[in-house]
Chain A
Amino acid sequence: MKKLMKGNEAIAEAAIRGGCRAFFGYPITPQNEIPEYMSHRLPEVGGVFLQAESEVSAINMVYGAAGSGARVMTSSSSPGISLKQEGISYICGAELPCVIVNMVRGGPGLGGIQPAQSDYFQAVKGGGHGDYHMLVYGPSTVQEAVDLMYDAFDKADKYRLPVMILGDGMLGQIMEAVEIPPMKDPAAFAPKPWATDGTGTGKGRRIINSLYIDPDELEKVNHRLFDVYVELAKNETAYEEYKTEDAEIVLVAYGTVARIAKSAVNLLRSNGVKAGLLRPITLFPFPSAILSALADKECIKSFTAIELSMGQMVEDVRLAVNGKKPVGFYGRTGGNVMSPEDIVKFISEKEGR
């Protein structure tokens, strides 16, 4: 049955249904409902909740628990995610599965607490030091966030990397009707023979590590990580096309902004402008192939990236379109959110439509 739930709480419940049994975090707006929910809900299912002394500690608790085989997650918002970057780099280096939620707020610095998408680069390009990526989702509705979170631990375990749910304050605070899926049975999860659960001795002992002093060995690890990213691109790339079949103008937007862009597409169409929307669901891997294919379509005249930033995803759109069609950009920042009408106005003025 569908239930009206706040985004943050629905995401937390979906994590538990998906097998999460440990949460380590630190308070920061606008994601506090996640740790608050976890603090009472995890003990009910025999899980562990701990408020860490810092974001730095929280992510390293995640490292320890993930390394020992637990389904573990943390959540935070932009400034807190910056603090976690060291740990995320180590987690990627040690090839550990976990889930990280970032309910993005405006920056840089302490910034604001209102919705933003200005952590896109940090999320999809790495964020910490070294060559690595995470599987990054940009859900646009509470239901989609629930569905992605529900399977996030499976994906993390399968590819042995962190999965990031990149939301924003709006997604966290909004209430929508959601269908919460049933509890997954932890007994059915694939075993983790690599995890340091304490039982290893002699030849059977396990080591969780990201240190490779031998250059050839480290290079091998780098290649192994990137082989996984190729697999990710093949298997996990997800996007939604909306009215692109006959579109002349294609908006590209992700997350909550894509909902606003979708309304704008409908408004534009009612004004006689053939607009469409491409909505990346995975931000890494980025749906470059479909963008490239759309760019080849004769009817499509231009692309416009719509973001709550000064223009971050637009760079990936340009790389994918590769000069075949013009790529414009419209963004709002500081926690300001554009309305569908704002987008229509931008397209009408800048694109001459």
Chain B
Amino acid sequence: MAVVFQKSRMLTDVPFSYCPGCTHGIAHRLIAEALEELRCEGRTIGIAPVGCSVFAYKFFNCDMQQVAHGRAPAAATGIKRTHPDKVVFVYQGDGDLASIGTAEIIHAAARGENVTVIFINNAIYGMTGGQMAPTTLIGQKTTTSPAGRTIAANGNPIRVCEMLATLDGPSYIARCALSDPANVMKAKKAILKGFRNQLEGKGFSLIELLSTCPTNMGLTPVAAADYVKNDMTKVFPLGVYKDIDAEQK
């Protein structure tokens, strides 16, 4: 019988522990496929953050480190600097990357660390139960902004891609959405590009993936995907924010 589809070799047999409709699973698969296609098996070190994806170390079939909240880009720097011939990727959520770890991500990007960062932005703290994130939309209700986020009380959401694209260090910065098949395929391409840049020594890349959290958004998986596509993209427009290859052309 011909095999028409199988799980990526860069994923373990451990079943994902994510909620139904959560897009972490899709993000994991895209990363695994990209690593497999680029023949990174046996030379990859991944970093799991603190947040829902804290258990990412169970799912990727490569050496993995689980690190302190927000510090993944620093740990990645330590790994890549001492193992420059290995592929290093960082997986972070919005609380991890854009709140407690802002210093680490900005400086890793500014140094142009030759690593690939996958940034999951679902505009909420998932693991801890739906609190406000640095990327929570204005008006969005969370357990710590029960009446909806306001500019007066909480300020505006942080646009990470736009901010990091102002730096000279990064080689590639893009925002994609895991909201529908077409956008998922675009995300796959962006992730491949990020890893290719690393393999070619071009330096830091970050791919932001707008993601769902049906559980804490209080939406069905389909409604959550629509929310990502219709509401989140208004605040976080999709696109490539930096690409040194395009600049050179």
Q: Which residues of A contact B (CB under 8 A)?
A: 21-22, 24, 48, 50, 52-54, 56-58, 60-70, 72, 86-87, 90, 94, 196-202, 205-211
Contact = CB atoms under 8 A, between A and B. Distances in A.
Interface stretch (B75-83, B160-168, B184-192, B195-203): B75-83
B58 to A, nearest CB: 8
B71 A196 contact: no
Given A57-B107, A199-B63, A24 B78 contact: yes
Contact of A206 (B41, B63, B82, B104): B63
A64 B65 contact: yes
Given A63-B67, A207-B64, A57 B83 contact: no
Given A53-B107, A198-B86, 7 more contacts: A24-B77, A63-B65, A68-B45, A72-B82, A94-B66, A197-B45, A205-B62
7 contacts: A60-B67, A61-B75, A66-B78, A196-B64, A197-B63, A207-B64, A208-B65
Contact of A197 (B71, B76, B81, B83): B83
Interface in B1-53: 12, 41-45, 47
7 nearest CB pairs, A to B: A64-B78, A64-B75, A196-B63, A61-B78, A198-B86, A65-B78, A60-B74
Contacts of A199: 42-43, 63
Contact of A57 (B63, B65, B104): B104
A343 to B, nearest CB: 43
B158 interface: no
B33 to A, nearest CB: 16
A21 B44 CA distance: 21
Contacts of A65: 78-79, 81-82
Nearest to A208: B65
A201 B32 CA distance: 13
A211 B86 CA distance: 25
Contacts of B42: 198-201
B54 interface: yes
Contacts of A61: 74-75, 77-78, 81
B64 A198 contact: no
Given A22-B82, A198-B44, A198-B87, A64 B77 contact: yes
Contact of A64 (B44, B54, B76): B76
Contacts of A94: 65-66
Interface residues of B, number: 35
Interface SS majority for chain B: mixed
Contacts of B227: none
A53 B103 contact: yes
Nearest to B85: A198
B61 interface: yes
A210 B66 contact: yes
Contacts of B68: 60, 63, 86-87, 90
A12 B107 CA distance: 26
Given A60-B68, A196-B63, A198-B45, A48 B81 contact: yes
Contacts of A54: 103
A88 to B, nearest CB: 10
Contacts of A57: 71, 74, 77, 103-104, 107
B10 to A, nearest CB: 8
B57 interface: yes
Contacts of A202: 61
Contact of A205 (B63, B71, B86): B63
Interface centre among B45, B75, B78, B107 (most CB of A within 10 A): B78
A265 B47 CA distance: 54
Interface in B207-225: none
B234 to A, nearest CB: 33
A90 to B, nearest CB: 5
A201 B67 CA distance: 20
Contacts of B45: 68, 196-198
Contact of A22 (B41, B62, B81): B81
A79 to B, nearest CB: 17
A257 B43 CA distance: 49
A205 B83 contact: no
B78 A207 contact: no
A222 B191 CA distance: 39
A201 B106 CA distance: 31
A66 B77 CA distance: 12
A67 B61 contact: no
